Amino acid sequence: MNKSEAKKRIEKLRQVIDHHRYLYHVLDKQEISESALDSLKKELFDLEQLYPDLITANSPTQRVAGAPLAKFKKVEHKKLMLSLQDGFSNEDIIAWEERIKRLLTEKEASELDYFCELKFDGLAVELLYQGGIFVLGATRGNGIIGEDITQNLKTIEAIPLELNDLGRSLTPSSDIVVRGEVLISKERFAKINKQQARANLPLYANPRNIAAGSVRQLDPKITSQRQLDFYAWDLLADLGQTTHSQKHQILQKLGFKTHSGDSAKHCLSLGEVFKFREYWLTRREKLPFEIDGLVAQVNNTELFEKLGVAGKSPRAAIAFKFPLKEAQTIVEDIIVQVGRTGAITPLAILKPVAIGGTMVSRATLHNEDEIKRLGIKINDTVIVGRAGDVIPDIIKVFLK
């Protein structure tokens, strides 16, 4: 096979491999066996080794490549990557709606509708595509500056290295930014913890810890072994959308997994939002991933932008968290943790206890005032809860 023939075969192999990757990792379908797909990947790899100059950044062989990094580069987000305000009750959500209605005209307020989707317990990331090709991936960081984790994100099969037809139709200078969640399944989480136990290593507290730690590995091969997944939930590009629900439709056409079917709902009122939450409150255990609530946001993108930002959160969206899960345990120690930004957070080290299927061994005490308010000391018996199923918190101290 000469170089011209090899080039045609390489292009065909890439199309076929990406087609089956999309079926399996995005649509959860399978047309050929894993061994057949492996043979196609092997043929592509061998041809690219014969003609290295034909290797491109969007080739399936480049999902795990290169030497480990010495450190992560910093990346500035073109648009702030915000976090969400939390709500835990219907009253919280009603108050949220009342606040945003005060900033709208009477007509706008009367026409408010919402898009609701599940809130995964994962790590938010940003993906940049230029001319349809994935060129940069970053963590949220502080919302302004994140870390370049491109090579690690390339190992996640659910993230396309090249967008589908809609993305490929764009001019080479067109940029598309996609935001979403990196996460790990409950099944994979359990397997990794079994491996930790067999190796006499500490168990991971929850799936989010593994997902976050995995994408921040300096060696992409380690990230690849974790078998992470990805769901897209936002699109930062004007492709004609006027609602958030249309963003999801476009993201699916670009080749991403998004919330769809009964895991997302266009709600015409808060009553429908409450029903959607109740529906998943009783069914979340059946999901392959951990969720800690849902996200409700103003569906109209123009109104979403008009409502702007309050602090570090968009006014037009809120995380509607699930109720606390609680258990009783003992405080074994109290330590101080220093974050990457220099922020100091006191932590209670707990006798490990299972809450909602996750082993909890520490809880945040927030600050010195919280310690004084609780009157907490080492050896105290406490009630610990997972706020929205995720963040361990001290709910009550049984004072001696």
Per-residue pLDDT of the chain (400 residues; tens, 9 = 90+): 888 888 889 888 888 888 888 776 667 677 777 677 777 887 888 888 888 888 887 788 877 655 666 788 999 998 999 989 889 889 999 999 999 999 999 999 999 999 999 998 889 999 999 988 999 999 998 899 999 999 999 999 999 999 987 666 665 567 899 999 999 999 998 898 888 888 887 777 678 878 888 888 888 888 888 899 999 999 999 989 999 999 999 999 999 999 888 899 999 999 999 999 999 998 988 899 988 899 999 999 999 999 999 888 999 999 998 877 778 899 999 988 776 566 677 889 999 887 766 778 888 887 777 888 888 989 999 888 876 556 688 888 887 6
- Say how many domains are in the chain: 2
What CATH code is carried by the domain that includes residue 386? 2.40.50.140
pLDDT recorded at residue 126: 97
**Of 13, 42, 62, which residue is a domain's last?**
62
Domain boundary among 11, 36, 62: 62
Is residue 302 in some structural domain? no
pLDDT on residue 285: 85
33 located within any domain: yes
pLDDT, one tens digit per residue, over 231-243 is 999 999 998 999 9
Give a yes or no: residue 394 inside a domain. Answer: yes
Nearest-angstrom CA–CA distance, 232 and 248: 8
> Which residues in 139-170 are b (16+ Cβ under 10 Å) and which e?
bbbeeeebbbbbbbbbbbbbbbbbbbebbeeb
235 within a domain of the structure (yes/no): no
CATH number at residue 53: 1.10.287.610
Strands 309-310 and 291-298: unpaired
The helices-and-strands tally (H runs, E runs) of the chain is 13, 18
Residue 39 CB partners (closer than 8 Å, separation 6+) = none
- Indicate the residue type of 304: F
The pLDDT of residue 212: 85
What pLDDT does residue 64 have? Answer: 67
Comparing CA positions, the residue from 58, 65, 210 lying closest to residue 151 is: 65
Catalytic residues: 119
- Copy the structure tokens of residue 207: 């799936």
pLDDT tens figures, 174-188: 789 999 999 999 999
Report the candidate in 186, 195, 80 with the shortest Cα–Cα distance to residue 142.
80
- Count Cα neighbours of 161 within 13 Å in the Cβ-side half-sphere: 22
Q: How many residues does the chain have?
A: 400
3-state helix, strand, coil in the chain (%, to 5): 35, 30, 35
Whether residue 15 is contained in a domain is answered as yes
* Residue 19 pLDDT: 82
Contact between residue 375 and residue 399 where contact means Cβ atoms under 8 Å apart: yes
Cα 158-184-321 angle, rounded to 5 deg: 110
- Please report whether residue 34 resides in a domain: yes
Q: What is the pLDDT of residues 150-177, one digit of tens each?
A: 999 999 999 999 998 766 666 556 789 9
Helix, strand, or coil (residue 209): helix
> Is residue 55 situated within a structural domain?
yes
Tokens of 258: 């998004």
Q: Which domain holds residue 21?
A: 1-62
Does any domain span residue 46?
yes
Q: Select from 62, 82, 101 the last residue of a domain.
A: 62
